[in-house]
């Protein structure tokens, strides 16, 4: 916005005005912005699907363990603590935008350790069901991690931002040419500022959608609702 004001002021000061077809400039800026916003929104929707699948798998494994009559109360509590730890660690990993999943992988491996340690009391049927839903759990976590760490290409975002800053340099003299120097300058300032406000707002919306787990944007995902115990 400051760049727009300064550029418009200088254009009036030095009587800079010319005609430029803005169609190409609009395509150069609006099309990439819309493309990146749609991509970010789709990743957010995919993240919601994977989070739902993640919690569903956790709850199902928990039900299987709790319904096994051969497991002791202590063993059931141990497994419950493991699943709760997986839930908490996964949400923390997403919220903090962490790249290293070593700690989370070690916690998930405790499920296998538990099954092996209780081999005599855990039936083959329960093992098969548990591993089947653990596969869904692993798949959901990997997809969430991929969404969280691989976003819109940095080069495309940088391209959009550079053109947004360059846009007033061409747009302000063109608006002055269309409106005319004899008319109220406030009209030109209003048009230039409004257009730049729309562009930078779209960019900021896309930037917020890029990080749907950090609880900063208005449209961020509420991770608390996808924990095992919500």
* Residues 171 and 194 both lie in one domain: yes
Lowest mean per-residue pLDDT among 3-17, 113-127, 131-145: 113-127
Mean pLDDT across 135-140: 93
Mean pLDDT across 38-57: 92
* Residues 100 and 82 both lie in one domain: yes
Nearest to 47 by CA among 83, 94, 103, 98: 94
Q: Which residues of 45-61 are buried (b: 16+ CB within 10 A; e: fewer)?
A: eebeebbebbbebbebb
* Residues 49 and 120 both lie in one domain: yes
pLDDT tens-digit readout, 162-219 = 889 988 998 899 999 988 878 888 999 999 999 999 999 989 888 888 888 887 777 7
Choose the final residue of a domain: 101, 126, 151: 151
Mean pLDDT across 84-103: 88
pLDDT at 98 over 80: no
Determine the 3-state secondary structure of 95 from DSSP.
helix
Compute the chain's Rg from CA coordinates. Answer: 27
Lowest mean per-residue pLDDT among 74-78, 94-98, 170-174, 190-194: 94-98
* Residues 104 and 193 both lie in one domain: no
What per-residue confidence (pLDDT) applies to 138? Answer: 92
Percentage of the chain beyond pLDDT 90 is: 33
* Residues 98 and 141 both lie in one domain: yes
* Residues 142 and 158 both lie in one domain: no
Nearest to 126 by CA among 70, 77, 82: 70
Q: What token pair was written down for 119?
A: 């081999």
Q: Which residue has the tokens 């969404």?
A: 147
Q: Which domain holds residue 120?
A: 45-151
* Residues 146 and 170 both lie in one domain: no
Q: Which residue has the tokens 């700690």?
A: 103
Mean pLDDT across 2-21: 88
Lowest mean per-residue pLDDT among 58-62, 66-70, 133-137: 66-70
Mean pLDDT across 56-73: 89
H/E element, 229: none
Determine the 3-state secondary structure of 96 from DSSP.
coil
- Average model confidence (pLDDT) across the chain: 88
What per-residue confidence (pLDDT) applies to 154? Answer: 81
User: Which residues contact residue 132 at a Cβ distance below 8 angstroms, ignoring those fewer than 6 apart?
Assistant: none
What per-residue confidence (pLDDT) applies to 32? Answer: 87
- Asked, for residue 201, whether it belongs to a domain, the answer is yes
- Counting Cα atoms < 13 Å in the Cβ hemisphere of 97 gives 10
The count of structural domains within the chain is 2
3-state helix, strand, coil in the chain (%, to 5): 75, 0, 25
- Asked, for residue 220, whether it belongs to a domain, the answer is no
Determine the 3-state secondary structure of 1 from DSSP.
coil
pLDDT at 56 over 80: yes
- Counting Cα atoms < 13 Å in the Cβ hemisphere of 46 gives 19
* Residues 160 and 80 both lie in one domain: no
- Asked, for residue 218, whether it belongs to a domain, the answer is no
Mean pLDDT across 75-92: 93
What per-residue confidence (pLDDT) applies to 31? Answer: 85
Determine the 3-state secondary structure of 18 from DSSP.
coil
What per-residue confidence (pLDDT) applies to 84? Answer: 94
pLDDT at 48 over 90: yes
- Asked, for residue 141, whether it belongs to a domain, the answer is yes
What per-residue confidence (pLDDT) applies to 79? Answer: 92
- Asked, for residue 77, whether it belongs to a domain, the answer is yes
Percentage of the chain beyond pLDDT 70 is: 100
């Amino acid at each position: 916005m400051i760049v727009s004001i300064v550029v418009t002021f200088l254009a009036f000061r030095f009587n800079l005005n010319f005609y430029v077809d803005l169609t190409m400039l609009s395509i150069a800026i609006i099309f990439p912005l819309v493309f990146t916003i749609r991509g970010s929104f789709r990743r957010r929707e995919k993240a919601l699907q994977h989070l739902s699948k993640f919690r569903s798998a956790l709850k199902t494994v928990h039900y299987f363990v709790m319904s096994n009559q051969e497991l002791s109360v202590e063993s059931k509590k141990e497994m419950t603590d493991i699943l709760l730890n997986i839930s908490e660690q996964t949400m923390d990993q997403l919220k903090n935008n962490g790249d290293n999943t070593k700690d989370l992988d070690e916690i998930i491996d405790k499920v296998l350790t538990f099954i092996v340690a209780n081999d005599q009391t855990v039936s083959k049927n329960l093992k098969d069901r548990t591993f089947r839903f653990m596969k869904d759990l692993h798949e959901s976590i990997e997809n969430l991690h991929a969404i969280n760490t691989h976003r819109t290409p940095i080069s495309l975002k940088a391209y959009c931002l550079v053109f947004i800053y360059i846009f007033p340099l061409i747009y302000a003299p063109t608006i002055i040419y269309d409106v005319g120097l004899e008319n109220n300058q406030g009209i030109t300032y209003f048009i230039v500022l409004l257009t730049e406000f729309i562009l930078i707002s779209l960019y900021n919306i896309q930037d917020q959608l890029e990080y749907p787990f950090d609880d900063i944007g208005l449209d961020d995902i509420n991770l608390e609702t996808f924990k095992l115990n919500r």
